[in-house]
């Protein structure tokens, strides 16, 4: 009897293995476990089995019944998942994968990085500061007198009792407070001014600040560093010149011009026939600012400069409207 049961299990296993569709699974289930299936028949006839064998035969029949039911369920699951896969319209596991689209750097960030890389190669470290500043860091510590017109709400955005920084120069103060000279830093960042938007002005723009403090630093060092920077960025043929200017935090102060990159200094519409275009503000850090940051201005001197990233990008790419950088037109952005 036990032998007969084992044979039933063997046969059942084999036919389950061979089954290729859900229909044959059902047929096998009926054949072995159905009302008049082979196993059911044996279980039904248990009362004819001798009393001493009955418990063992009963036990084995039940085990075999469960085993077959389990194998059938397993096979049904396997077949189901195969059916589901092939049922997804257009499913083709042999197709090659699709490449995901990788984002690009914004042209302003490309230019900002290029500027930063040149100064990093000259040994400058990179510093950053908060966009939302206090009056102290944006103005007072930089030697703006309390009644200076730059504080006017017509020029500066106020958020509660703070200001959106109008330039990257507050990063000078924050770093100089923390460090002991000598040091040299560049500080890129976004700045904000209450301006009407036109082709050359925007209320949000970007600057890269630079500052260096050491013993015996003079104006000639500033000229040298900026001249190297311009030649690396725009090309060796580009000339620089410095004109007297004014900033509360530098003394003396200067405006640096470069020979027009469009007409090579010949005179054109962009440079208003002068052959020169304004590039950035700069100067020797005012001793008052050094003192405000706890630096001994008898021992240390330094220079600082600040350039507009948008302006430099306009010259680099020959674009005549700053607003293009902020319209997020994918056709424009894909050009870079």
String marking each residue 232-251 x if it binds ligand PHE according to CB under 6 A: ---------------x--x-
Scanning 85-93, 224-232, 277-285, 312-320 for contacts with ligand PHE by CB under 6 A, the matching segment is: 277-285
CB of 185 to ligand PHE, least distance (A): 12
The reply to whether 156 sits near ligand PHE by the rule CB under 6 A is no
The reply to whether 304 sits near ligand PHE by the rule CB under 6 A is yes
Scanning 16-24, 103-111, 216-224, 300-308 for contacts with ligand PHE by CB under 6 A, the matching segment is: 300-308
Count the helices and strands in the chain (H runs, E runs): 11, 10
Choose between 68 and 108: whose C-beta lies nearer to ligand PHE. Answer: 108
Judge whether 244 and 254 are in contact, CB under 8 Å.
Answer: yes
Strand order in the sheet with 204-214: 125-126, 183-192, 204-214, 301-308, 276-285, 250-259, 240-247
**What is the distance between the alpha carbons of residues 153 and 135, in angstroms, rounded to a whole number?**
12
Peptide linkage before 5 cis (omega within 30 of 0): no
CB of 204 to ligand PHE, least distance (A): 14
H/E segment holding residue 259: strand 250-259
Binding residue for ligand PHE (CB under 6 A) from 281, 286, 295, 325?
281
The reply to whether 306 sits near ligand PHE by the rule CB under 6 A is yes
The reply to whether 167 sits near ligand PHE by the rule CB under 6 A is yes
The reply to whether 292 sits near ligand PHE by the rule CB under 6 A is no
The reply to whether 115 sits near ligand PHE by the rule CB under 6 A is no
Choose between 181 and 283: whose C-beta lies nearer to ligand PHE. Answer: 283
Judge whether 138 and 165 are in contact, CB under 8 Å.
Answer: yes
Burial of 32 (0-12, 13-18, 19+ CB in 10 A): buried
What's the DSSP call for residue 40? Answer: H
For ligand PHE (CB under 6 A), the number of binding residues is 11
Choose between 68 and 254: whose C-beta lies nearer to ligand PHE. Answer: 254
Angle of the 309-317 helix axis to the 107-121 helix axis, nearest 10:
100
**What is the distance between the alpha carbons of residues 63 and 9, in angstroms, rounded to a whole number?**
10
Binding residue for ligand PHE (CB under 6 A) from 37, 170, 188, 283?
283
CB of 303 to ligand PHE, least distance (A): 8
Strands 125-126 and 183-192 come out as: parallel
Scanning 1-9, 50-58, 87-95, 275-283 for contacts with ligand PHE by CB under 6 A, the matching segment is: 275-283
Cα–chain-centroid distance for residue 167?
24
The reply to whether 192 sits near ligand PHE by the rule CB under 6 A is no
Q: Which residues lie near ligand PHE (CB under 6 A)?
A: 167, 169, 209, 247, 250, 281-283, 304-306
């Amino acid at each position: 009897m036990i032998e007969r049961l084992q044979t039933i299990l063997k046969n059942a296993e084999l036919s389950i293995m061979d089954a290729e569709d859900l229909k044959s699974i059902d047929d096998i289930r009926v054949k072995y476990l159905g009302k008049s299936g082979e196993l059911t028949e044996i279980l039904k006839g248990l009362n004819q089995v001798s009393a001493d064998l009955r418990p063992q035969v009963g036990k084995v029949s039940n085990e075999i019944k469960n085993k077959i039911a389990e194998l059938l369920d397993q096979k049904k699951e396997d077949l189901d998942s195969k059916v589901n896969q092939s049922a997804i319209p257009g499913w083709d596991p042999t197709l090659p994968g699709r490449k995901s689209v990788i984002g690009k750097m914004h042209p302003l960030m490309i230019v900002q990085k290029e500027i930063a890389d040149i100064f990093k190669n000259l040994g400058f470290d990179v510093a950053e500061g908060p966009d939302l500043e206090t009056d102290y860091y944006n103005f007072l510590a930089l030697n703006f007198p309390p009644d200076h017109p730059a504080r006017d709400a017509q020029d500066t955005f106020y958020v509660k009792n703070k200001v959106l920084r109008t330039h990257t120069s507050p990063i000078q103060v924050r770093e100089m407070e923390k460090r002991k000279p000598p040091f040299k830093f560049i500080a890129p960042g976004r700045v904000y001014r209450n301006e009407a938007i036109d082709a050359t002005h925007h209320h949000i723009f970007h600057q890269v600040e630079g500052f260096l403090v050491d013993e015996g630093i003079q104006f000639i060092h500033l000229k040298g560093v900026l001249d190297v920077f311009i030649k690396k960025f725009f090309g060796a043929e580009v000339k620089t010149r410095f004109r007297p200017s004014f900033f509360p935090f530098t003394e003396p102060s200067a405006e640096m011009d470069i020979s027009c990159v469009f007409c090579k200094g010949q005179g054109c519409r962009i440079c208003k026939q002068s052959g020169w275009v304004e590039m950035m503000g700069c100067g020797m850090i005012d001793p008052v600012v050094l003192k405000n940051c706890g630096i001994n201005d008898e021992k240390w001197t330094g220079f600082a400069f600040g350039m507009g990233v948008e302006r430099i990008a306009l010259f680099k790419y020959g674009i005549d409207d700053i607003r293009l950088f902020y319209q997020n037109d994918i056709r424009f952005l894909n050009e870079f």
